[in-house]
Structure 1
Amino acid sequence: MLWMNQVFKQIRDRVTLPQWASWQTLLFLSIFSVIVAALTTSPPPQIAQRIISSFGWIFLILSVWWFVYEPPVKKKLTFYNFFIGPWIVGAIVCVYLFGTIEGGRIPTQTSWISWPPISSLIWSAPKFIKSDSKTKSPVYTNPSKAHRQDIILVILANLIISCWFQFSFQIQNWIANNPSLQGEDFSRSGFVWQPQRFDRDTALSRGADVLNIAAQSVRTELEGKPWGQVERWLTNLDQQVPRLRQQVKEQLPRSSQPDLWTLNAEVTSAAYDLKLQALWRRPNSRQAGSELTRTCRITPVRRERPTPEFRFDDSAPPAPAPARVQEVGTVQCGSITPPKQIQPTRS
């Protein structure tokens, strides 16, 4: 039982406030506000909960601000004569301003960009306040010349950090909006965050899908069609390629990554070997792209097609017409060749 008494005594000492004017009081008020906000169910609950939870955040910010300036805590949070407490308070302020009020997801770009200047303002605020020796109340004061120089340097340094954050997010947005940069490797960059490394096997599989869909479209267009129509289709291949690309785009499975593959086609021999190419070029990169090819041989075959039957009278049986031989096209597509590297284009 003795050890239980010691445990309860330690808990009581922790909970008991040293004085009413302390950071513990503000922390308890913050916890109380959170509990009240969670229990608020009167209509409309959202407005009441936001007001009460806002008071909870304000009490929490003031409590942490007070806590980090306690002499023992301030000593532990000082590294190389630099006190990081204001940046801790600034982080909580940004979470409150850009997470709770705006309803955004933390961390947001705005919170990262705003964190350094807000923290520098929190750091410089005590320079303008001093305690009156008689009334023990805070009064406004003009900082000394040395303090003014420190304030200017700290604010400018944090603005530079904020600009670096903005630059990093801007680069990230450029990459997200530029499909040609999606497959690049930015592991050595200090400003680009790449959540998913480029998977070459996945990209090649995507290129194979492009060729398979294109080959199936060619079969649908030419298989069993009259040979004269097939030859006209192949002669006007430049006009058919855009249609093939559109068909591939419509039938290609949707992907979370932008499409990096381009479909080309050309006739490579007099025997009508149609070469389908899936090209992945990196115009703004020093790295080589990839090329996948699949060749479809289109040849004429002679097939018999019966003409419509003739009826001389209703009572007599129909007389079969003689079969008619016609040349039609047939399509045989080979397998996909191994990927080949393409040197990047130079502008």
Structure 2
Amino acid sequence: MENILSFLGQLISSLIPPSLLSWQTFFWLGVFIFFFVNLGFNLAIRQFFLSLLSIDEIFKQLRKTLTPPKPDSWQTLLWISIFSWAMSLLPAREWMQGFIATCAWFFLIPGIHWFMHEEKFKVFDLTLNIKKGLTIGGLYLAPWITGALICTLLFSGLPEEERTRIALLSWPPISAVIAALPKFIGIGPKYKTPNPEARQDLVILLLSNLLLSCWFQLFFLTQSWLVDYPSLITEDLSKSAFVIKFVNNPTESRGVTILDQAEVVLKEQLDGRSWSQVERWLLELEPQMQQLEDVVMTRISPVKENSLWGLQGQVLPRTEYQMQMMAVWQGPSADGTGYYLMKSCQITRVPDTRRSIARTVASTQIARVTCDAVTDPTAGQPGDGGGMLSEGVKE
């Protein structure tokens, strides 16, 4: 016994770490980590089995809810739809897959519409009135949900850029027809004529949904206008009865882009050229501006709006030389008179320092072009498009 106690004492003393950097330290650290990892693992396993039990209970409740209580029920239509979609994955031909998937939609849509009429839907020991929950302010929303599903089915094959627009335009009238159908079905079922009070409600229902379609169409129309004519967003639309700007940040007119590019082209054509060539260019300002406009339009992004912009120029009299370039908007505007933007450029002559004075009798004069920023839009049209040259350009 004494030998055993002595052995245990020596073993314990040998396991006491003499320093931090010893094998005993790493041994006890390993024991400590193993203990807590094992404890955490056991707790995790226990929690896992508890979660399995709760998941199993959830699946039992879902299975009870989705099991058809009778053959003619919305659960039956839902399961047939799921089965059809599963079967659509088996055929190798695409048209067969599409046909079976479409049949699945034919079961899914009435199944969901039927489900939305449930008044005593039981799930997890709760009884829910789905129909009452979908009624807001006396308006039953189920027909519009069903209409959205029908539009998704009908227009899913269209190109992506057209799908959303056509589906939204068709959704209100299709939903109105679905909402109106019960008024024409009597007990039997058989056709019945709605009473006068119901007819008035049907007319209001149809017209209000057609108005909603018109608003959708107006939205898509204005969006297409802004794509083709981006400068329209710079117009003052504060007096409009149907267009509201939600963003107050100022938007740059396309005329600014045209004038900035015109400045680049003008410098390419005149900057650094001899003064006599520049004066000859200014004497033929009207055809030169037309050529400059053609070059500018090829350098900016092509949109339909480009054809509604014109580029004009004039040289102010008794200046050497101040040239004004104007981007004139000839399209629709808020006040009907149009507008124009202006950029002023100073064309001055300076000595040509690139040439040696020894090689020339007199220093050669060349042109330098500097331009100011584009001015704010001015309502109306410019009074003169280049007729003020006789006094401004000297031969």
Q: TM-score by structure 1 length? A: 0.73
The answer to whether structure 1 residue 17 and structure 2 residue 68 are counterparts is yes
Superposed CA RMSD in Å reads: 4.0
Residues 167 and 293 from structure 1, CA distance in 2 versus in 1: closer, same or farther, beyond 3 angstroms? same
Matches within 5 A, 1:1-347: 3-37=54-88, 39-40=89-90, 42-43=92-93, 45=94, 47-71=95-119, 72-98=129-155, 100-105=156-161, 108-132=164-188, 138-178=189-229, 180-184=231-235, 191-192=242-243, 199-200=251-252, 204=256, 207-219=259-271, 223-224=273-274, 227=276, 229-250=277-298, 252-254=299-301, 258-259=305-306, 262-268=310-316, 272-279=320-327, 284-285=333-334, 290-298=341-349, 330-334=366-370, 336-345=371-380
Structure 1 position 32, deviation (Å): 2.8
Supply the distance in 1 between the matched residues of 2:246 and 2:151 (Cα, whole angstroms).
Answer: 24
| In 2, Cα distance between equivalents of 1:290 and 1:29 | 66
Alpha-carbon distance in structure 1 between the residues aligned to 2:241 and 2:99: 41
The unaligned stretches of length 5 or more in structure 1 are 133-137, 306-322
2:339, 2:379 within 8 Å by CA — same for their partners in 1?
yes
Residue identity matched to 2:177: L
* Aligned-pair CA distance for 1:77: 1.4
**SS, match of residue 17 in structure 1:** coil
**Distance 1:202-1:76 versus aligned 2 partners, 3 A rule:** same
Deviation at 1:4, TM superposition (A): 4.8
How far apart are the structure 2 equivalents of 1:74 and 1:184? Answer: 47
SS of 1:254's partner is coil
Number of corresponding residues: 315
Contact 2:259 2:325 in 1 (8 A): no
d(CA) in 2 for partners of 1:337 and 1:210? 12
Higher mean C-alpha deviation, range 58-67 or range 107-116:
107-116
**Shift in Å at residue 242 of structure 1?**
0.5
Asked if the contact 1:303–1:327 (Cα under 8 Å) also holds between the matched residues in 2, the reply is no
CA contact (8 A) 1:268 1:275 kept: yes
Deviations 1:244-282 (Å, cap 9, x if unpaired)? 1112222x3437795587543333355741525253658
Query: Does structure 2 conserve the Cα–Cα contact (< 8 Å) formed by 1:301 and 1:329?
Result: yes
With the length of structure 2 as denominator, give the TM-score of the two structures. 0.65
Structure-2 residue corresponding to 1:319: none
Structure ranking higher in helix proportion: 2
The higher radius of gyration belongs to 2
Distance, in Å, in 1 between the alignment partners of 2:360 and 2:183 is 102
Q: 1 CA distance for matches of 2:85 and 2:239?
A: 44
Amino acid at match of 2:64: D
Say which SS state the counterpart of residue 234 (structure 2) adopts. Answer: coil
Deviates more, 1:51-60 or 1:206-215: 206-215
Higher relative contact order (CA 8 A, sep 6+): 1
Moved more, 237-246 or 109-118: 109-118
Q: CA deviation at 1:211?
A: 1.1
